[in-house]
Amino acid sequence: MPAVSATAPGKIILFGEHAVVYGRPAIAAPVLAVNCKASVFPKPLGPVGEVTIQSDNIGLDTDLTLLDREHPIRFLLEHIQAKYGFARFPAMHIKITSTIPLAGGLGSSASVSVALIRAISGFLDLGITDQNVSELAFLVEKIHHGTPSGIDNTVITYAKPVFYKPGHLVETLQVEAPIHLLIADSGHSTLTRETVAAVRKLHADLPEYYESLFDSIEEIVKRARECIEIGNLELLGLLMTKNHNFLKDMSVSSPALDQLVNTALDFGALGAKLSGGGRGGNIITLVSEQTSEPITQALLSAGATRVIASRVLPSRS
Ligand code: PMV
């Protein structure tokens, strides 16, 4: 059995986070500038069933059975083992490396899952389909997030911009004009499961208000989709900032995120919003080729700890 490697990108949510947990649509795009790589190596001399894992990023260097049963990697591998009918796996060593920042809203957990599932699928010749890759990664997301909408595993599996509505077939988006984005890290991180839980409580306390916020966001998502498909970047930017304001109303922004959004807008961005769970993590901002560099510098001066440039390219290029 030769060694097999697979990679998976990061992701950002362009529109519709949180509302998507309540059945509304959202738009997400892969971030190809960062990725996760999983490699599976045979251990010809190892006893059948011996699986070792190494990931320097999260300080992991262990035998699979020494991980907690609910550890996402152990859970995933044991799930694959049962689903595909292996009494035991052949002896193998798994190495995972990632350039995706942890807990930053860039989909690091789903990316690890997708890369690992594909590497294992290749190594064991399982032929796991994209749909099954996404479904398996979704099971792991549940461990991380509690009640994930499924958007992270979907966009990372298909590695294309997607219009995602829970319970509906995934639609990949036609992109008319290149979308230049900057992803700026606030330097604070809050677990997505915490912000999702906070919104759940607020929604339970004020259902009508939160439902109306989700409805407004749904309208933005639908209009944003049209803008992406016809290349109307000016309106796309305005919708982005509008989406941010609804996320603020939802109480998932933070002073640091608002400051980065305002800085980007002050320096000529077409729009900006927090991306992902919020109360920390990243903002995204829609820029042009000309404004990308000055806005990057402005964001760093305003306290961003890292700025990643990312492009969503036209479908035909
Ligand atoms: O924090 P992230 O980037 O994983 O984004 C979570 C997006 C939410 O809508 C808040 C949750 C979800 O499962 O969709």
Of all atoms in ligand 1, which is nearest to the CA of residue 141? Answer: 13
Residue 192 is predicted with a pLDDT of: 87
Q: Which amino acid is at 20?
A: V
Residue 316 is predicted with a pLDDT of: 66
pTM greater than 0.85:
yes
Establish whether 152 is a catalytic residue.
Answer: yes
Per-residue pLDDT tens listing for the chain (317 residues): 789 999 999 999 999 999 999 999 999 999 999 999 999 999 999 999 999 999 988 889 999 999 999 899 999 999 999 999 999 999 999 999 999 987 778 999 999 999 999 999 999 999 999 999 999 999 999 988 778 999 999 999 999 999 999 999 999 999 999 999 999 999 998 888 899 999 999 999 999 999 999 999 999 999 999 999 999 999 999 999 999 999 999 999 999 999 999 999 999 999 999 999 999 999 999 999 999 999 999 999 999 999 999 999 997 65
Residue 147 is predicted with a pLDDT of: 84
Of all atoms in ligand 1, which is nearest to the CA of residue 18? Answer: 9
Residue 191 is predicted with a pLDDT of: 87
Residue 102 is predicted with a pLDDT of: 79
Residue 317 is predicted with a pLDDT of: 53
Pocket of ligand 1, candidates 102, 144, 151: which has the most ligand atoms within 8 Å of its Cβ, to mutate? 151
